[in-house]
Amino acid sequence: MPILAFGSRPAHGKARMVGLCSYNAAMRFTPIIVSGWLYVTILVAASETSLVAGILSFLFYGALPCGLIIYFAGAKVRRQRLQYRETIAVKARHDGNG
């Protein structure tokens, strides 16, 4: 698994390696999109007629969808980190026994 320097781009332009995890180019826009969406949902919640309706609209239109997006977007990175930790554990077991 090659580790490329920060700012380097592969020829295909789809993903690059940052540290020990691959980094999709679209992932760098996720915080901007999420913060923009949360801003819009806060404004929608503020314009609701009651406090309960405002809280529910923020939770179901803003917090829940953004949380799911962030969770699913980070799934590949979490999977790669787990695989890396398992690889390190297997190497440590082999080095300890040999």
Give domain status of residue 91, yes or no.
Answer: yes
Of 87 and 9, the one with more pLDDT: 87
Identify the domain containing residue 44 by its residue range. 27-97
Asked whether residue 4 carries a pLDDT value surpassing 50, the answer given is no
Which pLDDT score, from 0 to 100, does residue 75 have? 85
CA 94 to chain CA centroid, Å, is: 33
Q: pLDDT of 25-77, one tens digit each?
A: 656 777 888 899 999 999 999 999 999 999 999 999 999 999 988 888 888 88
Give domain status of residue 83, yes or no.
Answer: yes
CA distance 94 to 87: 11
Give domain status of residue 34, yes or no.
Answer: yes
pTM over 0.75: no
For the chain, state the CA radius of gyration: 20
Give domain status of residue 11, yes or no.
Answer: no
Question: In sequence order, what DSSP letters do the residues of 47-68 get, joined into one string?
Answer: TSSSHHHHHHHHIIIIIHHHHH
CA distance 72 to 74: 5
Strands 21-24 and 15-18: antiparallel
Count of domains in the chain?
A: 1
